[in-house]
């Protein structure tokens, strides 16, 4: 038994003893054990030593006790039987009653004063015992947070969970369920035993000989950066997998079932997004990018475009960063836009670049036109001309399929676009200023811009259980 348990047991014993003593004080006025014993000793001495008992010590006449005498009682006193023990006197003097009353009040005072004091002592001792445990638990939490609590948060304190290749292979049906394939990586769709869908992204490198120290450094830095996002409009990292034989480097992400924003805007096979849906996407992007820019250190997305934005089941925006798979095969050591190592100029350029890309994204969302490198300059030039000639000219940039747009919202979006695509990065506003201006006009809160139903929590729970079991 440890010291804390022994202390609790001792306090509980003291509580029990105090409670017993307090209850006995109620019977004091009727018991009078001291007087009864004194009278018995006197009578016994008189019988054995043959000393006459004084008249004052004899039993009082019947009828003078606690109960009233019967109507047929005699007034003459009777003597005790030789073997009969004399009863205690029925009444005491005023001095005796005062003494008993004082003792009773004293014990009652102890009963009401000691027990609360002992209880307070017990609570204080428990608090002092639990406080160090609480402090030590908080101190073990890692540098990045997931926004989770309880068992999930405790499992994440050591970092992103490392998963076994066999588990991912089983979830992805032997890696036969390919969602997308690119020159540098492949995306598989997996299903956990709970039915929650995940995305498993794997490098195309199949040999450790092709995976340099630079590649490993990029991979681990990206895991750390993505794990710090913790935003509902960002594709969250659930875990990673690394094995040497067969060579494997994978990231496990939450799955967004509605494809990319690029496909929804430009592919006729995808469901059309109305004006209100596009405004919700714009606000989700603004909130998420502002969150990234205000992290410590700030994070700039290295490739912010419509193909890097996925849509959830209810068509909320979810930003994803796949740039690491290109970085691991690059020969140079120069970090890309998203890796801000603290140099003021580099940080400023990365954040300003995101602001410019956000302005181009706004143009693409409201116009439905492709801002590819061959046409981006013309799209930006058209926007600048329309905005400079008046708010009404912005209508000419609208996607013809949009029939329910709002003029006041379009006017504000036009001004934000104009501020974002300034050629001089120093003249571009911050994402905080952009978000505040858009929210004032559009009126969509951060909660309304995030996915309403997300299986992320259940996916994290099962992935963590698998990682702990292995």
pLDDT digits (tens, 9 = 90+) for 44-64: 444 444 444 444 444 444 444
Residues 467 and 192: beta-carbon distance below 8 Å:
no
Token readout for 366 is 């409201």
How confident is the model at residue 469, as a pLDDT? Answer: 56
With cut-offs at 50, 70 and 90, classify the pLDDT of residue 103: low
Of 263 and 89, more confident: 263
With cut-offs at 50, 70 and 90, classify the pLDDT of residue 370: confident
Handedness of CA 56, 58, 64, 66 (dihedral sign): positive
How long a stretch of residues is the chain?
Answer: 470
How confident is the model at residue 74, as a pLDDT? Answer: 44
Of 439 and 113, more confident: 439
In whole angstroms, give the CA distance from residue 363 to residue 359. Answer: 7
- Among 298, 198, 194, residue whose Cα is nearest residue 240: 198
Of 347 and 184, more confident: 184
In whole angstroms, give the CA distance from residue 411 to residue 407. Answer: 6
Of 273 and 375, more confident: 273
Query: Please, which contacts does 23-30 make with residues 24 or more away whose CB atoms are closer than 8 Å?
Result: 23/111, 24/107, 25/103, 25/104, 25/107, 25/108, 25/111, 28/100, 28/103, 28/104, 28/107, 29/100, 29/101, 29/104
Average pLDDT on 303-314 reads: 94
In whole angstroms, give the CA distance from residue 345 to residue 348. Answer: 5
* CA distances (Å), origin 115, targets 7, 44, 161, 339: 16, 43, 50, 63
Average pLDDT on 181-198 reads: 88
How confident is the model at residue 241, as a pLDDT? Answer: 93
Q: Choose the weakest-confidence range: 122-136, 275-289, 296-310.
A: 122-136
* pLDDT reading at 31 higher than 50: no
Residues 159 and 138: beta-carbon distance below 8 Å:
no
Average pLDDT on 73-81 reads: 46
Of 156 and 262, more confident: 262
Say what angle helices 94-139 and 3-24 make with each other, to 10 degrees: 160
How confident is the model at residue 230, as a pLDDT? Answer: 87
Average pLDDT on 286-291 reads: 97
With cut-offs at 50, 70 and 90, classify the pLDDT of residue 80: very low
- Cβ neighbours of residue 60 under 8 Å, at least 6 residues apart? 89, 90
Average pLDDT on 209-223 reads: 91
Q: Cα torsion at 242, 248, 254, 256 (round to 10°)?
A: 170
* pLDDT reading at 287 higher than 90: yes
In whole angstroms, give the CA distance from residue 434 to residue 304. Answer: 16
Average pLDDT on 413-420 reads: 93
């Amino acid at each position: 038994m440890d010291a804390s348990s022994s202390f609790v047991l001792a306090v509980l014993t003291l509580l029990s003893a105090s409670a017993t003593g307090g209850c006995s004080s109620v019977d004091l006025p009727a018991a009078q054990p001291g007087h009864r014993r004194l009278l018995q000793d006197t009578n016994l001495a008189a019988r054995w030593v043959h000393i006459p008992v004084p008249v004052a010590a004899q039993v009082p006449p019947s009828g003078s006790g606690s109960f009233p005498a019967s109507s047929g009682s005699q007034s003459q006193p009777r003597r005790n039987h030789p073997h009969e023990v004399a009863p205690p006197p029925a009444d005491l003097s005023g001095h005796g009653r005062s003494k008993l009353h004082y003792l009773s009040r004293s014990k009652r005072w102890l009963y009401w004063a000691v027990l609360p004091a002992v209880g307070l002592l017990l609570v204080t001792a428990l608090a002092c015992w639990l406080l160090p445990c609480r402090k030590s638990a908080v101190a073990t939490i890692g540098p990045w947070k997931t926004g989770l609590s309880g068992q999930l948060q405790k499992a994440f304190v050591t970092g992103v969970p490392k998963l076994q290749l066999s588990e991912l292979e089983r979830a992805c049906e032997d890696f036969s369920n390919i969602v997308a394939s690119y020159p540098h990586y492949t995306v598989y769709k997996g299903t956990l035993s709970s039915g929650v869908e995940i995305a498993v992204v794997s490098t195309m490198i199949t040999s450790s000989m092709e995976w340099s120290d630079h590649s490993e450094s990029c991979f681990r830095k990206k895991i750390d950066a993505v794990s710090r996002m913790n935003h509902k409009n960002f594709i969250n990292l659930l875990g990673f997998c690394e094995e040497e034989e067969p060579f494997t480097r994978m990231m496990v992400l939450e799955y967004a079932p509605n494809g990319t924003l690029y496909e929804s805007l430009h592919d006729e096979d995808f469901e059309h997004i109305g004006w209100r849906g596009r405004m919700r996407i714009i606000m989700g992007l603004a909130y998420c990018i502002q969150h990234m820019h205000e992290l410590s250190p700030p994070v700039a997305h290295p490739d912010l475009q419509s193909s890097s934005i996925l849509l959830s089941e209810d068509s909320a925006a979810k930003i994803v960063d796949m740039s690491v798979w290109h970085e691991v095969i690059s020969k140079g050591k120069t970090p890309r836009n998203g890796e801000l190592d603290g140099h003021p100029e580099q940080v400023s350029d990365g954040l300003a670049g995101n602001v410019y890309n956000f302005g181009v994204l706004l143009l693409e969302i409201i116009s439905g036109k492709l801002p590819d490198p061959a046409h981006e300059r013309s799209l930006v030039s058209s926007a600048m001309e329309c905005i400079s000639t008046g708010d009404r000219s912005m209508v000419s940039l609208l996607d013809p399929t949009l029939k329910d747009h709002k003029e006041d919202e379009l006017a504000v979006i036009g001004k934000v676009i104009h501020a974002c695509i300034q050629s001089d990065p120093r003249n571009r506003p911050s994402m905080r200023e952009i978000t505040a201006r858009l929210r004032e006009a559009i009126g969509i809160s951060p909660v309304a811009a995030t996915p309403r139903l997300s299986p992320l929590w259940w996916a994290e729970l099962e992935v963590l259980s698998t990682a702990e079991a292995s």
